[in-house]
Structure 1
Amino acid sequence: MDPRTATGRSAMDRIYEAGCLVAGEWLAVGPAADRTGPYLRRTVSRARIAQPADITAALAYSRASAKTVARLAPATRADILERAGAQVHERRDEFAQLLAVELGKPVKDGRSEMLRVADTFAVAAAEARAIGGENLPVAGWARGVGNTAFTHRAPAGPVLAITPFNAPANLLAHKVAASFAAGNTTLVKPPPQAPAVSTELIKLLLEAGLPAEAVQILHGGSETGAALCAAPEIAVVSFTGSAAAGAAVAHAAGPKRVLLELGGNAATIVCEDADVEEAATICARTGFSNSGQSCISVQRVYVQRDRFDEFVDVFTAQVKALAVGDPLDEGTDVGSMVDDDAAERVVRWSAESGGAITIGGSRNGAVCAPTVVAAPSPGATLVQEEVFGACVAVLPYDTFDAVIETCNESRFGLQAGLFTYDVRRILTAWRELEVGGLIVNGSSNFRLDHVPFGGVKDSGIGRESPRWMIEDFTVTKTLLLRGTSIWGDQ
């Protein structure tokens, strides 16, 4: 189905058929997997599953196509990405509806995701135009006198992009756009939960002028991903997903470049000098967007004990005001989670936490009521692991040094939030918190797509955003001219 043939609900009443793109050809016939929309409770998309022969053909094509893509001038790559960004902007409502139907994401959140996709393409285009190299100061050392040396960033080779369900369009855009900006061909293994959105975005790129040699898409489960990771044709693997899946990806990939953007159980600290009402409002909005299904979603809020009760009251009231329900309704703030099991996990972990549930704690199918748990046990699963759902734990702390230490006890370290006006605390937290990023006077759940993003510990390896990804998707090549110097020979 081409969802552009209609608008609104009528466009989503049919089943979207997502084919595999292998060696420039769309494959529609063959084994397929159905995706049940978590809110609509019916089949909304069907993905043609890649077979072993498809994987073999795709890998051979990627190796054969690598030079073709690498020879495109950076300006050519940038022009294509800019056109794609403009098309995404025009079609954002269509994609938002697909996200709502396939994943239960509210349309206003889906629209925001697509505006980020447009920005990501534009940023990647700008970074493509900036790719260059260095004139090395070789004559600064005696053995280098009389010689000249240069470097440039060359495409690394075929990139494998494995994307998650929670932001399937924007995270696909980051990987494919940066890979193409760097001059690589890309194999995409989308999430089984979002085959339609992923396929439509690849089609849009092709319509914008992306060469057929530059991208392929293979639907499937973990076995498809493992086969692609292990393939010697792949130069770089870029994966976003859970820590457990990331470990499996790294094991399957073996000795090749692997970039992992993994999970978290993000903490936000609210100090006694903070504007509690503002902090509670921001945490409510960012803790339950996309039903909390974000690796940097607000999961743990640590509030200075003197302000704890005040924060819990305001926060609970703000969460109560969120509109929960139909993701296709423009007024909905919280739609459904990815499936019933995910919603049940939130309910179970909340009940077992040992804290007071001030709101929520129940579900209707895959729709989980936004849940706040006050003062759970510090050792509760809800505090220690990644909930990845519509639940926020609020815990008191006594001293700033102690809360920094508590936050660092987590095996994750992706991003943190801090509400304070004390610059000394800001600098201390930036220095001492074991995370990849710190958001001041905002929650952990804030990201700019042109700023480096990534974590430490079990939250991953590498940084995302086009500029930093291009560094990982390229290799430094050196040219050394012996007996020829621009520096002088004496």
Structure 2
Amino acid sequence: MLPDALAQTTPDARAFVAGAWVTDGPPVSRTGPYVHETVTRSYPASATQIAVAREYAAAGARVVAGLAPATRADVLDRASHLAVEHRDDIARLIALELGKPVKDGRGELDRVADTFAVCAHEARQIGGENVPVAGWARGVGNTALTYRAPAGVALAITPFNAPANLLAHKLGASFAAGNTTLVKAPPQAPATTAAVVALVLEAGMPPEAVQLLHGGGDVGAALCAAPEVSVISFTGSPATGAAVARAAGAKRLVLELGGNAATIVCADADLAHAARICARTGYSNSGQSCISVQRVYVQRSRFEEFVEAMRAEVDRLVVGDPLDPATDVGSMVDEDAATRVEKWIEQATASGARLVTGGVRDGATLRPAIVADPPPDATLVTEEVFGALVAVLPFDELDAVIETCNGSRFGLQAGLFTNDINTIVKAWRELQVGGLVVNGSSNYRLDHVPFGGVKDSGFGREAPRQMIDDYTVIKTLVLRGMSIWGQA
């Protein structure tokens, strides 16, 4: 499917339903945010297509559950190798559909390769336990065993900002666990999603293991409510996550719902290093990441020094054509998104904040902006920016800045620059976040390390080992009158 799609001027992002690539119904065009023209077409699912997919998934779950973990692991290992092989082609699709710089897209495909490899490893680790029932009087003379069985049908709803790697996490872990997966693609990245599905099929994943449907919230809601679905993994906004939970009812959920990431820079930090890291990780993918650097709190004694150092680093970033390998910052997902961030900058500066650099918009492209010392109640401080903007604010005492950070309704990940071990331990203990990165910004993730948040940032952890726990159920076997422990 992928070579055929890349050969077309405007690739078709077909659906993959009941073992076949299909183009049912009228197509919907995706306009590239940088090129301002149609770059791909997708085919939203009808009620009939959803019904076919549900029925096929129910039957396919039994087929996939019958595959040995080693068989599933071998497929995932091959998918890892194919991600490297198709790296440049899929990165180009990402750049066209989303305006994400092609070098960042290549980096995302490197992570896809890692993610599939980790999923393969974790598939080989799935097991159970021998429960020590004879430790209690009523259990004497019996044996109890458990194993982790596939949940059955999983639903993966992926976002646009990292469409390849977040799909690799959800689909890879689900298949490693022995499930079939319904994939609902983001409307902004239909061809990228189809390319990853085509990749795993090329790797040998049986058609019973995956189906791909396109469409908007109505398609997602119908799939969430499907009784065949046992577990849902969703990445997106808190509002949509709440809608997913309502539609899902009594199903297991893994929800990653965004953030308002803070990074704290203490007086003892290597300021040049901190400024460079915050500049590089605050604007990658135009800041469209749930852990992108959004709020940087700098100890007041070094505040102006940091602002100037970060301004110099940001001004070095190359803004332009996402297909140019030299580009650091491409466009945002669409013009509405860029206009929203531009408006938030204007609101903050009208309230006394200082625009240090950037903030100029050209269509969907916003030059990376630094806003210094905005009011604490400014929208760009309290809400998730999800754009090419970083706010820098001063702080005096560690206790106070931790309290400020914890005042957010989000709690996904934070960064901390310091060399003081007491500060590190205190921040790790007291910050209300799912993860803390020391001497790095909030925007750092290893795909085999537990990742997820608290409060409105969701629940569950998105790393292959933890996701396999969510994608499986514990099944218990009790052998009455048969004991390996002795009878008395």
Band the TM-score falls in, shorter-chain normalisation: over 0.9
CA displacement, residues 160-193 of structure 1 (integer Å, 9 cap, x when unaligned): 0000000000000000000000000000001000
* Aligned residue number for residue 400 of structure 1: 398
* Aligned residue number for residue 356 of structure 2: 358
Correspondence list, 1:198-277, <5 A: 198-277=193-272
Correspondence list, 1:251-330, <5 A: 251-330=246-325
Displacement of 1:19 in angstroms is: 1.1
SS of equivalent to 1:130: coil
1:62 aligns with 2:57: yes
2:476 to 475, 478, 481: 478
* Aligned residue number for residue 139 of structure 2: 144
1:106 aligns with 2:112: no
Displacement of 1:90 in angstroms is: 1.1
Displacement of 1:69 in angstroms is: 0.3
* Aligned residue number for residue 388 of structure 1: 386
Contact 1:161 1:175 (C-alpha < 8 Å) held by counterparts: yes
SS of equivalent to 1:352: helix
2:129 to 121, 124, 134: 134
CA displacement, residues 362-416 of structure 1 (integer Å, 9 cap, x when unaligned): 2100011100000001000000000000000000001000000000000000000
Tell me the TM-score normalized by structure 1: 0.98
2:338 to 318, 343, 352: 343
Contact 2:33 2:99 (C-alpha < 8 Å) held by counterparts: yes
Correspondence list, 1:460-471, <5 A: 460-471=458-469
Contact 2:461 2:467 (C-alpha < 8 Å) held by counterparts: yes
Contact 1:351 1:361 (C-alpha < 8 Å) held by counterparts: no
Q: Specify every segment of 5 or more residues in structure 2 that has no aligned partner in the other structure, as ranges.
A: none
Q: 2:198 & 2:359 partners in 1: Cα distance?
A: 40
CA displacement, residues 265-287 of structure 1 (integer Å, 9 cap, x when unaligned): 10000000001110000000000
Counterpart of 1:405, as a letter, is: E
Q: 1:116 & 1:243 partners in 2: Cα distance?
A: 25
1:17 aligns with 2:15: no
* Aligned residue number for residue 418 of structure 1: 416
Displacement of 1:29 in angstroms is: 3.4
Q: 2:257 & 2:2 partners in 1: Cα distance?
A: 33
SS of equivalent to 2:436: strand
1:194 aligns with 2:186: no
Q: Percent identity?
A: 68
1:48 aligns with 2:29: no
1:171 to 152, 166, 172: 166
Q: 2:307 & 2:299 partners in 1: Cα distance?
A: 11
* Aligned residue number for residue 370 of structure 2: 372
CA displacement, residues 342-379 of structure 1 (integer Å, 9 cap, x when unaligned): 10111110111131001111210001110000000100
Displacement of 1:258 in angstroms is: 1.2
Q: Specify every segment of 5 or more residues in structure 1 that has no aligned partner in the other structure, as ranges.
A: none
Displacement of 1:30 in angstroms is: 1.3
Q: 1:49 & 1:312 partners in 2: Cα distance?
A: 46
Q: 1:366 & 1:83 partners in 2: Cα distance?
A: 37
Tell me the TM-score normalized by structure 2: 0.98
Q: 1:373 & 1:4 partners in 2: Cα distance?
A: 45
The count of aligned residue pairs is: 485
Contact 1:350 1:361 (C-alpha < 8 Å) held by counterparts: yes
Q: 1:109 & 1:361 partners in 2: Cα distance?
A: 22
Q: 1:219 & 1:157 partners in 2: Cα distance?
A: 22
Contact 1:290 1:335 (C-alpha < 8 Å) held by counterparts: yes
Measured on the aligned residues, the alpha-carbon RMSD in Å equals 1.0
Q: 1:248 & 1:41 partners in 2: Cα distance?
A: 31
2:79 to 71, 78, 84: 84
Displacement of 1:4 in angstroms is: 6.7
